[in-house]
Amino acid sequence: MRNLENIKKVVIKVGTSTLTYANGNLNLVKMENIVRQISDLHNRGLEVILVTSGAIGTGASALGYKERPKTIPEKQACAAVGQVTLIHMYQKLFSEYNKVSAQILMTREDIRDRKRYLNGRNTFFTLLDIGAIPIVNENDALVVDEIKFGDNDSLSAMVSSFVDADLLIILSDIDGLYDSNPKENKDAKIIDYVETITKEIEGYAGGAGSKLGTGGMITKLHAAKICCSSGVSMIICNGASNDSIIRAVNGENVGTYFQGKVKPMKGRQHWLAYEAAPKASIIVDLGAEKALKNHKSLLPKGIVSIEGKFDEGDVVSILGVDGNRIGHGISSYNSKDLSSIIGVETKKIEEILGYKHYDEIIHINNMVIF
């Protein structure tokens, strides 16, 4: 059963084989169709993030490569050339539908490092709040192996967890996950619904991708594991269809659907709750405590005092006036500056500090409440 009635945030991943011809040139008809569907979802009121491949393939084609380059310097050069063409075309197409797009290039360090993690999430949330459509790709022009996501299937899954998405749609050159290779077995049957990724399901995956891409069904199953454990549902479907994105979001029986866990603790929440070591504490009043438990961000007005020293981006404990531990969160301000704005209205922050990064001391998206 596909439960997609209440989704609000969708990540869509487009692979190289969907975006380009075999020679690496952009398939503008497919690209326009994808942009049109995303724009239509945005018109519905959904928040949409696009994770796109194609930079290296497009750059390789422009530079005269017949197949995907082998060395890292060559790949980086192709990415630098191709990324310009790719984002320019996306911007042009989205503008035709009166949509504003934004480019974000990521590496694993942007998620591993807590300050970069915080800044990255704030960037995404701000872009979504103001109605922009973020376009994400790995920073292939500068990235090295130890900080690579490795493939954009994994990147799209990490982004989906990163931004607390409801659904990830991976557009591929195949209709979904089959019980055997449909290119070799004409009787292969598509797997419509996967509740749990078992060894049997993993056995259905093959490893081959296109000459210009890096993906295959194995990487898509890995992405599904990341998504499902984070509570994000995922669909693999064929990007060649003119309406596959719309049909997938509408809950139609398209592609293979992987059910996200119903009540997961998000990776970020799990890290905040059990893996992070709070450096200090923020004590809040009863009004703020009630607001936090009703899924509100922490504002300076609700803070009574702080205990200990911390920097912007550090994890702190949130305590009630009676000493009870309410939760953990990532502070948007350091302890020195925060001590100057305890109890004040948000409109006074800039007047007191001379700057204001955020209204929230701890944004609800950077907090776990026990």
Q: Three-class SS of residue 298?
A: strand
58 labeled part of a ligand binding site? no
> DSSP assignment, residue 224?
H
305 is in an annotated binding site: no
219 is in an annotated binding site: yes
Backbone angles phi, psi at 45, to 5 degrees: 110, 5
What is the identity of the amino acid at 121?
Answer: R
DSSP 109-173: HHHHSHHHHHHHHHHHHHHHHTT-EEEEEE-TTT--GGG---SHHHHHHHHHHHTT-SEEEEEES
Pairing of strands 133-138, 193-194: unpaired
Q: How far is residue 310's CA from residue 62's CA, in Å, rounded to a whole number?
A: 49
CA-CA distance, 130 to 227, in Å (whole number)?
Answer: 26
Q: Is 244 annotated as a binding residue?
A: no
Tell me whether residue 140 is annotated as binding. Answer: yes
- 53 labelled as ligand-binding? yes
Is residue 229 annotated as involved in ligand binding?
A: no
**Residue 255 · residue 244 · CB < 8 Å:** yes
C-alpha 224: how far from chain center: 13
Strand-strand pairing, 233-238 and 167-172: parallel
> Is 172 annotated in some ligand binding site?
yes
Would you call 51 exposed, middle or buried from its count of C-beta atoms within 10 A (0-12, 13-18, 19+)? buried
DSSP of 307-340, one letter per residue?
Answer: ES---TT-EEEEE-TTS-EEEEEE-SS-HHHHHH
Residue 173 assigned ligand-binding role? yes
Measured distance CA(319)–CA(304) in Å, rounded: 10
- Give the CA distances from residue 39 to residues 90, 144, 153, in Å, rounded to whole numbers and listed in that order: 12, 34, 22
Residue 23 annotated in ligand binding:
no
Contact between 161 and 267 (Cβ < 8 Å): yes
Q: Is 137 annotated as a binding residue?
A: no
- Which residues sit in the known binding site for substrate? 53, 140, 152
- Which residues sit in the known binding site for ATP? 13, 172-173, 214-220
- Which residues sit in the known binding site? 13, 53, 140, 152, 172-173, 214-220
